[in-house]
Amino acid sequence: MLELADIRKTFRLGPVEVEVLKGIDLRVEAGDLMSIMGPSGSGKSTLMNILGLLGRPTSGSYRLNGRDVATMNDRELSAFRNENIGFIFQSFNLLGHLTALENVALPLVYRGSGRRAARRRAVDILEKVAMADRLDHRPDQLSGGQKQRVAIARALVGTPSAVLADEPTGALDSDTAEEVMQLLIRLNREERVAVVIITHDPTVSLQCRRRALIRDGSLLEEAAEAREAGAA
């Protein structure tokens, strides 16, 4: 699965060096549901970019499904990302000129699946997020919650090992946010996909079986005993 060991990330802006991640160790297993909280600027998105193969760490090792990703070139990383990672963003990041169905089928088209197979799989997954009656709608013809359901379908369409969600409920009202969380929880269970959610919202975090906090460049995970006590 996802295994980070002593991951560090330093940004250099002119003469100024900022060490954002100072030695992160993290294992994410199949079926995990984990939240990561932390103050603004603490490095949550930086960590998510590394986990999602969108950014490389300054040092440390990252093995994804047993492969050391540091050895891959950019083209190999893109293909590996397409196969293994799904993304969900606060602002949905759907393509405005494509329909819901086309948006969801796109990751499969990129990986070279035939159009018909991609379409069939996209319809299946859109049914799972209760969007089968909106296949031909473009993003501007959907509500915020519907857009996020389409984005969730797109994240899952390629049967990734992990879905990484950066503030998935941040742009939604509280009822819609709760629906989106219930959907993520259900799909985490049904599809056995690991889900890592970055959030500022304690209600979102409390629904996750694993909870961690980034502070001063370190990742602190709540102990399992505390979680169980909290759940009891």
Ligand X SMILES: Nc1ncnc2c1ncn2[C@@H]1O[C@H](COP(=O)(O)OP(=O)(O)OP(=O)(O)O)[C@@H](O)[C@H]1O
42 or 169: CB nearest ligand X: 42
Torsion of CA 77, 80, 86, 89, to 10 degrees: 0
Residues 38-97 that bind ligand X (CB under 6 A): 38, 40-46
Cα angle 219-195-30, degrees, rounded to a multiple of 5: 95
> What does the alpha-carbon distance between residue 118 and residue 36 come to, in Å, rounded to a whole number?
32
Interface with Mg ion includes 207 (CB under 5 A)? no
Shortest distance (Å) from residue 115 CB to ligand X: 37
> What does the alpha-carbon distance between residue 91 and residue 106 come to, in Å, rounded to a whole number?
18
Shortest distance (Å) from residue 48 CB to Mg ion: 8
Binding mask 3-32 toward ligand X (x if CB under 6 A, else -) reads --------x-x----x-x------------
Q: Which amino acid type is present at position 162?
A: A
43 or 107: CB nearest ligand X: 43
From the list ligand X, Mg ion, none, partner contacted by residue 16 (C-beta under 5 to 8 A by kind): none
Interface with Mg ion includes 45 (CB under 5 A)? yes
> What does the alpha-carbon distance between residue 43 and residue 20 come to, in Å, rounded to a whole number?
6
Contacts of 43 (CB under 8 A, 6+ apart): 9, 20, 21, 214, 217
Interface with Mg ion includes 146 (CB under 5 A)? no
Q: How many residues bind ligand X (CB under 6 A)?
A: 12
Binding site for ligand X (CB under 6 A): 11, 13, 18, 20, 38, 40-46
